[in-house]
Structure 1
Amino acid sequence: MAEPDISTSPTRRKKLTIKPFYEKQRDGETSAEIINEARTSLRTLRTNRPFTPKEDKRTLFSGTSTRSSHDRPPSAFSLGARHFDGSGSRPSSATRLLPLENKPILPSTSPPTTADVTLPVIPKPPSTDPNRPISGKRKARAKLMHAISQEGDVVVLPQPLERRSSNPLLACKPGAADDSLQRRVHSGPKERTQLPQEKSTNEEGSLRVRSADSVSSRSTSKTSRTESGYSSERGSAGSRPESAGNRDNLSPEEALYWNTSILPILEDMAKLSQGSADTDVIEMLCSRCSELYRIMKEKQLLGKGSKRRGQVLKTIYKLLDFENARLHLIAARMILALSVSGQSMTSLCKLLFKVGRVEENDKLFLEDDVLDLIISTVATLDPVKNSEPLVYAIGSLKCLTGNANVVQVLSEKKLLPVLASLLHSINLHLSETGKPTKSTLNILLQVTAVLRNLADISENRADFLSHQVLEELCSVMEVYSSEADLMLNISRILSKLTLNHECCSVIGDHPTSFQSLILILHKHPNSSDLVVRVCFILGNLTAHNDDCRYCLFNTENAIDTLLSTFRSYLASDLKHSKVHPKQEAEKDKKSTVDKKSQDVLIKLIRVIANLSINHDIGALIASNETCVDLLLQVLECHSVTESDELVINTIITVNNLSYYTVISSAIEERHLTIARLLLRLLVNDNMDGMVEAARVFGNLSRTQSIRDFLTSKKVDQMMVMLLDSGDREVVYVACGVLINLMTDEKRRPLLKKESGIGKLIEVLRDFGRTDWQLAAMVCMILCNYTEKMKNSPETLGEQEASSLTDLLVDYLDEEVAMEIPDDVTWDEETQEFMRSYWRSEFCPVASQLLSRVEGCQGDLIPIDKAS
């Protein structure tokens, strides 16, 4: 519907524009839908989506969050190389050594007492049970003894090493033993598991140990292999020799590539990382790290199974001590590609968030394949076992999706399906355990924040539908309805998506969606940001889907909750509107609160208006005195000048409810009060308000008392004057009131007195062929006016009767009526729609009027009989 020209005075006739109001003006709607919506007695309401200001600071959680800081990871933290666990680079097959249970105690100068010394546990003696199963070592010894006994030889078994005393301090002897003990206290894992060096005994019964010469020769051999271009180093301490060796053993070709291509870069980076943090050093480190990533990627040396992975990571970790975002991100890309885990993964995700929360760094993430690696990491992390790194990784994406360019790139890289899969995993875990946790909540807050930004891109709507994101969000609402922050994020997503009809159908079909939305209103009545969005969502769901109207109305406590919210925010709005204007501080506060309260009222009243479209529900709401009284209180306390959208939405809702003429209608009981409240809008400069008020009068004027009231206030004269406005919709609503007024015989003379007959004929001539619905209403007025007519020239006027007859004859000729005006373009659908309206709406009443006018010619002689 075209916007009315409020600058046009009702008493002046403006230059006519023949362009029909039902031409296609909005994508996705046909001309027929536009006409039905504009002209039907019951109409849905449109309103703007709630405005969401951009957050000033990028934080992990919103600054307005009501959650305690103890329940969520921090947004600010220090981070450096020391926060990365070196063990995170160990192969997955490595085995960590457990710490020693009993630490050796250093000898003191004074003799220890039993109170000062913790005595070691005495080993349990071997079992004497004859039925005891034979272990591997005992079985081997038994076989050896049996073999020897068969030969009949007497064998002297080697003597075991002398067992140390139970108290190591008492067993210490001066000299070498003390040195050995001191050395072993600070020894490494190999030394702790290795026996001390002993002298060789005789050949018959000696226990031989590896000599220093053996160790020396092995070291020499290793050095010679390294110099020849081949080297094999063992894994990190604590790993199993066989697994670590197999992982890091390089073939001669791999070793040659490592020593000639990778090792020099690592050595350069190690030297540079020890220098000062000037610009040149940072630039060189960035360059060398990027080069390292490139050559390792080309040779497929990245990933969890990468050989010499630990050595590379240790060098990369040192780069994080420099305070440079670009260097941090390049290092993070390398660490991501090497698939770290554990504490290193957590620190890495914190690093990504730290870089991403600075808006100036957004362009750095668009370089190379950093975003791909982040998405891949999010896709592989388990939400139960890796909740903290997931929070920071997705938190970095939340920051980045606030940038219009980056969010477009992330959409193209299919981030949304990854988040949909994560949502499904979380919901599946919740359904299995039934225990929502704080860690899961923290992840969901980040995921929904990213989805909120992705929902801004219209191309993503298909992915939201195909990956069942809407259903997953409805499931989350069912579990976490008490969490205001999470519900606010979801409401922001749904408020965007429910602008699409298909999305509305999906949400409406979910079994718990309406129950969850009503529960949110019930649990968070004071959160205006959340309430306004939930009401907006409900308004979208009920705008075009009658099933949704039934579902919402039949949801337990739905109407009570809506009316309770209505009453609460109306009271808040009226309270703050009474603040004295001289109090400037209070005035600013009032303005903010007042705006929020009115925004909630606008969205909530829209829900009521949309529900009332359904005939069963509308009649019940019209009988609800609480609802009607709240609507009238809005009209009484607000003016259309200051609160135009609120007042106009309220009038449209009253118009919808006034359509129902049930016995218990609260509208019917208060119709005079409504008429008095709306009367002032007819003399207001706001054309929209005047049109909507006239629509209500079109329904209310069906009763005699309202017609008397309108006549006493000279509204009938005003309606005749509005026929001259030239605005199609103003003329339409004026005709609606005049149809009812002309049912009273005593009011009919006014139409002719105010030149209304001629004005109606002009309306028929100007708008007839482009608006058969309006043309039909003109004929209805004239039919009511001429109900008891005996002489048409006398009743209508001679010139008027002749002009009306000519017009009706032409308009009832289908060929003439369906001729498309020169300045109008109609598609086939519009032409068919116009033909249908012409046949069903116009022709019946026009034929009746023409027959009456021609049959009441009086003394005039027809032309064909004049001769």
Structure 2
Amino acid sequence: MESKKDSKSIGKLRFTLQNTQNVQLPQLEHSLVGLCRRRTSAEMISEAKTFLTDVSPTTNTTTNHNQAASGMSSTNYLCFTLSNTLLLSFLVGGVRVVSTRRPITPRETGRVLYGKVTLPGRPPSAFSKILTRSNDLLGQSSTEKLIDMLKEHAGLKECTEETASHINSILTELYNRVRKNEKHFKKGFILGGLYGLVESSSAKILLAVARVVLALRVSGSNLTGACKLIFKVARSEQNDYLFYDSDLLELLIDGLGRASPLEDPEACIYGYGSIRFLTCSTVQERAELTTIKDFNRNWSEQFELPRKPSTAPNLGEGHTLQTDKQQKEFVEKLSKQDALVVRLSRHGAVQLMILHLQMLNEAGATQKLNGPPLHSLYQLSAALRALADVRQISSSLEQLENPNFNTTKIQLELACPHLVRAAEVTIGEIEVQANIVRTLSVLSEDPDCCHILTNFAGRIGMLLGPCCANFKSNQAEKLLSLISRLGYILGNIMAKYDNARIQFYHNDVAMEYLLNILEIYSKEPLTLHNSLGDTVVDVLIKMIRVLANMSVNSEVGFGLGNAQSLGNILMILLKASQQIKSIKMKQELQELTHATLGALHNLCFYQDKITSTPAHVIESKGSLQSVLSDLAAQLCSILKTNRDEVTQTEITRVLGNLTRNEKARKSFCKSKGLKLVVEILANDATRHLYDLKACTIGILVNLLGDMENRLPLIQLKGPEILLELLRDALQQHSDWFLATIISQAFWNLFIDTPHIEDVCSEVTLDELSDILAEYLDEEKILKNYNNESLPQMWEDFAIVSTDLLERLQSNYDQQSDSIVSLEASDFENDEDDVYIEGM
């Protein structure tokens, strides 16, 4: 319907047009009524196109009308003009006719253009999305514009956080485009805009620049520059978090894959140096981890071998971290470092390092390495060590929490042969060689790596040769670190693999070098050390442990007993470690004493049958076989004066093996060793020390094998002490092992004695018989074990105790026979008696 306003307008128009000429009122009125309704945009556009097509004819008509109106009056002309204007206006329908051509604006250098492809100087459309200063805005900028924006900040050093964030956003957008292989601009153009930012103090900017450079797959000096930036940031521990959620490490490995340690050594130096920094621990953490990793203690755990000293902490024990917060932070950091190591290994870092090792070894085989290639080898080996260290520590902690944990293998064992070769190639370069050997020492703790190194034990021992030759040079202090770690590697190998013990022993040259090192450093002051903290004591400990673990093998142990100077060396070390009274070195000297005693324990085990040197065997000067008597006397002297319980136990352990040799027994007893043994057993303060008590009884068993030692034992009331120990072992603890060796001591005491009653009192013999009879009652003992099978230790006790009880019983029978014969003799003589008859 028409509105009232529209009706009035039409009425006015009708009145005006009535006074005009050449206008058809009915038709015009019909058109006007149609125009008053609301039309669609499509209808309006269609009418506008129709109007624009008819503009020219209409203009000509207007001209003719002007000519015709020349004869009109002013009033009639005004009405005519008004009618034409209104008619055109209603025919168009209110559409303004404007030019669709945009105005041309001048290009402004500081104005940001929008869109990936934009015409120069084109402003944003009114219908475009309003963009903010973010990656959305940068994403619509051209690469050329991004580079120009970076160039505006060229030479930037210090900047605000907002500026750093803006530059980092630009670099991130640029990196995303480069990763998509956009080739709109050349590498040189992009690099030119990047290197203006390398002096920035912002770690984020430096890493973002390095990401873009590495994404361009550069090589040569450009690759070296990117590695330098990463190295600069990675040196600070505070920047480690920047690498955790970034693909920078993968880009770095890809970049190092395009480098050669011979042609691009600096790129390898900074690249592997960055990996080393990101995966290494701080000094404080390293000190805390020594208790967890249990360095230097590599005894071979086998029967009749030295046990680990009680001072040596087990895996996972030791000093606790200061606070729970520090422990939590340490574990979190370690887990993140371990994640980095796994990422690197999955991206082929270990294989790349091995390839570079091979290249350096091949070059070093023909020409001595020096300069940057030698330094790249240093950093490469250090990076491998850092990877192995993090992996082992993390796995150890995981296994403590979950014994069934399966660690992720990163195949570091593949690098072992090449590292051994690298150590051979770098002979003469003490620092580099020591660093390589240090890496091997860490790898030797891993079971897989140690198994591989078994085949190279002889070659590792040969590395000791140049150390002997350069002992008097100006590099003597640096040699301490190298020799110490070589000894640690060999000790780990000898602790596990018997074939390695035999192969190394039969390598005459390697054995000679090993004994030479021991002889040289045994004559040096034990207080000598270098600036790195390596000491002569540490060198001696490592080398002695190599011998201790080698002598587990019977062939090697017996053969080392006749090794020249070895006996003298061990006695010198025992004497020196007891004479120095340094509080600072107390722990080191104690460890040296225990290591020496451990080696003697193994070696003396195989010298028990040697009473005198056979005629066809020439006794080596200073060998262990030649000093057994002196050694027994020296150990007796140390046992008298030393008050350390662990040391006393270790000495008695050695004497337990040593006193099986006749010469050693005589020397020990001559030094009043029997009296010392009885005093230890009678001392209530030492009875709670089980190992000390058991070893001391073992010594007594050996000493009682000689007839001349039995009477002194009786005079010292030894039988009564042994009976008390037997009673305590059986009644209080049911200790079958201790009861067995005590019974063996009684057996040795009684075996050749014609009249036992002359050795022990009747009360002692009766009580001994009762105790043995009671605990040999199998039915009674079975009740204590709920009628289950008896332990093997009881079976061993029963064998010895049964013989002992029979020996006592036979003595009683002899006494009874003697009494009966005496009574019969008295009865026969009664006939000769004189009786006084009653008065």
User: Do the structures match in fold with TM over 0.5?
Assistant: yes
1:269 corresponds to 2:208: no
**Alpha carbons 2:168, 2:208 under 8 Å: kept:** no
1:528 corresponds to 2:485: no
Aligned counterpart for 1:413 among listed residues 334, 337, 343: 343
Deviation at 1:443, TM superposition (A): 2.5
* Alpha-carbon displacement from aligned partner over 1:485-537 (angstroms, at most 9, x marks no partner): 23212322232332344433221124864455444644664310111111121
Correspondence for 2:595: 649
Aligned counterpart for 1:678 among listed residues 629, 635, 645: 635
Correspondence for 1:182: none
**Alpha carbons 1:477, 1:487 under 8 Å: kept:** yes
Correspondence for 2:742: 778
With over 3 angstroms needed to count, the CA separation of the structure-2 counterparts of 1:608 and 1:371, relative to structure 1, is same
* Alpha-carbon displacement from aligned partner over 1:761-783 (angstroms, at most 9, x marks no partner): 34334446765443322121111
Report the Cα distance in structure 1 between the residues aligned to 2:535 and 2:157, rounded to whole angstroms: 54
Q: Name the amino acid aligned to 1:646.
A: L
With over 3 angstroms needed to count, the CA separation of the structure-2 counterparts of 1:280 and 1:509, relative to structure 1, is closer
Report the Cα distance in structure 1 between the residues aligned to 2:348 and 2:596, rounded to whole angstroms: 44
Correspondence for 1:425: 355
Report the Cα distance in structure 1 between the residues aligned to 2:153 and 2:223, rounded to whole angstroms: 25
1:395 corresponds to 2:273: yes
Aligned counterpart for 1:747 among listed residues 701, 709, 715: 709
Report the Cα distance in structure 1 between the residues aligned to 2:558 and 2:199, rounded to whole angstroms: 71
Correspondence for 2:312: none
Q: Name the amino acid aligned to 1:649.
A: A
Report the Cα distance in structure 2 between the residues aligned to 1:500 and 1:715, rounded to whole angstroms: 44
Q: Name the amino acid aligned to 1:448.
A: S
Q: Name the amino acid aligned to 2:351.
A: S
With over 3 angstroms needed to count, the CA separation of the structure-2 counterparts of 1:644 and 1:260, relative to structure 1, is closer
With over 3 angstroms needed to count, the CA separation of the structure-2 counterparts of 1:743 and 1:277, relative to structure 1, is closer
Deviation at 1:656, TM superposition (A): 3.2
Report the Cα distance in structure 2 between the residues aligned to 1:228 and 1:688, rounded to whole angstroms: 81
1:377 corresponds to 2:252: no
Of 591-600 and 644-653, deviating more is 591-600
**Alpha carbons 1:507, 1:513 under 8 Å: kept:** no
With over 3 angstroms needed to count, the CA separation of the structure-2 counterparts of 1:811 and 1:522, relative to structure 1, is farther
Correspondence for 2:659: 701
**Alpha carbons 2:198, 2:229 under 8 Å: kept:** no
With over 3 angstroms needed to count, the CA separation of the structure-2 counterparts of 1:232 and 1:821, relative to structure 1, is farther
With over 3 angstroms needed to count, the CA separation of the structure-2 counterparts of 1:523 and 1:323, relative to structure 1, is farther
Correspondence for 1:21: none
**Alpha carbons 1:514, 1:552 under 8 Å: kept:** no
With over 3 angstroms needed to count, the CA separation of the structure-2 counterparts of 1:794 and 1:465, relative to structure 1, is farther
Deviation at 1:784, TM superposition (A): 0.7
1:639 corresponds to 2:639: no
1:477 corresponds to 2:423: yes
Report the Cα distance in structure 2 between the residues aligned to 1:736 and 1:314, rounded to whole angstroms: 83
* Alpha-carbon displacement from aligned partner over 1:555-602 (angstroms, at most 9, x marks no partner): 24122212221222222226xx6xxxxxxxxxxx77989971111111
Report the Cα distance in structure 1 between the residues aligned to 2:512 and 2:156, rounded to whole angstroms: 70
Q: Name the amino acid aligned to 1:615.
A: S
Correspondence for 1:329: 207
Tell me the SS of whatever aligns to 1:616: helix
Correspondence for 1:667: 624
Report the Cα distance in structure 2 between the residues aligned to 1:425 and 1:509, rounded to whole angstroms: 21
Correspondence for 1:808: 772
Q: Name the amino acid aligned to 1:409.
A: A
Report the Cα distance in structure 1 between the residues aligned to 2:698 and 2:157, rounded to whole angstroms: 85
TM-score relative to the length of structure 2? 0.62
Aligned counterpart for 2:434 among listed residues 459, 465, 488: 488
* Alpha-carbon displacement from aligned partner over 1:715-765 (angstroms, at most 9, x marks no partner): 212212322422111112211221122123343244444443343234334
Q: Name the amino acid aligned to 1:422.
A: L
Correspondence for 2:287: none
Correspondence for 2:414: 468
With over 3 angstroms needed to count, the CA separation of the structure-2 counterparts of 1:773 and 1:465, relative to structure 1, is farther
With over 3 angstroms needed to count, the CA separation of the structure-2 counterparts of 1:554 and 1:746, relative to structure 1, is closer
Report the Cα distance in structure 2 between the residues aligned to 1:816 and 1:261, rounded to whole angstroms: 97
* Alpha-carbon displacement from aligned partner over 1:314-355 (angstroms, at most 9, x marks no partner): 322222243333321222122222222232111111222222
1:857 corresponds to 2:812: yes
With over 3 angstroms needed to count, the CA separation of the structure-2 counterparts of 1:479 and 1:857, relative to structure 1, is same
Report the Cα distance in structure 1 between the residues aligned to 2:116 and 2:229, rounded to whole angstroms: 37
Deviation at 1:705, TM superposition (A): 5.6
Q: Name the amino acid aligned to 1:534.
A: L
**Alpha carbons 1:383, 1:440 under 8 Å: kept:** yes
Report the Cα distance in structure 2 between the residues aligned to 1:627 and 1:232, rounded to whole angstroms: 90
Report the Cα distance in structure 1 between the residues aligned to 2:432 and 2:769, rounded to whole angstroms: 68
Deviation at 1:482, TM superposition (A): 3.6
Correspondence for 1:82: none
* Larger Cα-atom Rg: 2
Report the Cα distance in structure 1 between the residues aligned to 2:461 and 2:675, rounded to whole angstroms: 50
Report the Cα distance in structure 1 between the residues aligned to 2:666 and 2:706, rounded to whole angstroms: 10
TM-score relative to the length of structure 1? 0.60
Correspondence for 1:627: 566
Correspondence for 1:738: 700
**Alpha carbons 1:792, 1:857 under 8 Å: kept:** no
1:349 corresponds to 2:233: no
**Alpha carbons 1:694, 1:737 under 8 Å: kept:** yes
Report the Cα distance in structure 1 between the residues aligned to 2:600 and 2:569, rounded to whole angstroms: 11
With over 3 angstroms needed to count, the CA separation of the structure-2 counterparts of 1:391 and 1:704, relative to structure 1, is closer
**Alpha carbons 1:417, 1:467 under 8 Å: kept:** no
**Where does 1:520-559 land on structure 2 (aligned, <5 Å)?**
521-522=467-468, 525=471, 526=476, 527-559=479-511
* Alpha-carbon displacement from aligned partner over 1:218-243 (angstroms, at most 9, x marks no partner): xxxxxxxx99975899xxxxxxxxxx
Question: Where does the alignment leave 5 or more consecutive residues of structure 2 unmatched?
Answer: 1-112, 121-136, 282-332, 396-406, 614-618, 818-839
* Cα RMSD (Å): 4.0
Aligned counterpart for 2:236 among listed residues 334, 349, 358: 358
Correspondence for 2:680: 722
With over 3 angstroms needed to count, the CA separation of the structure-2 counterparts of 1:556 and 1:388, relative to structure 1, is farther
**Alpha carbons 1:416, 1:454 under 8 Å: kept:** no
Aligned counterpart for 2:520 among listed residues 549, 552, 568: 568
With over 3 angstroms needed to count, the CA separation of the structure-2 counterparts of 1:228 and 1:453, relative to structure 1, is closer
**Where does 1:136-147 land on structure 2 (aligned, <5 Å)?**
none
Question: Where does the alignment leave 5 or more consecutive residues of structure 1 unmatched?
Answer: 1-225, 234-255, 578-588, 823-830, 863-867
| Percent of aligned positions that are identical | 25
With over 3 angstroms needed to count, the CA separation of the structure-2 counterparts of 1:330 and 1:815, relative to structure 1, is farther
Q: Which has the higher helix share?
A: 2
Q: Name the amino acid aligned to 2:180.
A: L
Of 614-623 and 474-483, deviating more is 474-483
Tell me the SS of whatever aligns to 1:420: helix
Deviation at 1:860, TM superposition (A): 8.6
Report the Cα distance in structure 2 between the residues aligned to 1:232 and 1:340, rounded to whole angstroms: 32
With over 3 angstroms needed to count, the CA separation of the structure-2 counterparts of 1:569 and 1:337, relative to structure 1, is same
Correspondence for 2:829: none
Tell me the SS of whatever aligns to 1:689: helix
With over 3 angstroms needed to count, the CA separation of the structure-2 counterparts of 1:522 and 1:500, relative to structure 1, is same
Deviation at 1:688, TM superposition (A): 2.6
With over 3 angstroms needed to count, the CA separation of the structure-2 counterparts of 1:797 and 1:464, relative to structure 1, is farther
**Alpha carbons 1:791, 1:858 under 8 Å: kept:** no
Correspondence for 1:509: 455
Correspondence for 2:315: none
Deviation at 1:394, TM superposition (A): 1.0
Aligned counterpart for 1:296 among listed residues 172, 177, 188: 177
Structure with the greater relative contact order (CA < 8 A, sep ≥ 6): 1 or 2?
A: 1
With over 3 angstroms needed to count, the CA separation of the structure-2 counterparts of 1:398 and 1:747, relative to structure 1, is same
**Where does 1:35-114 land on structure 2 (aligned, <5 Å)?**
none
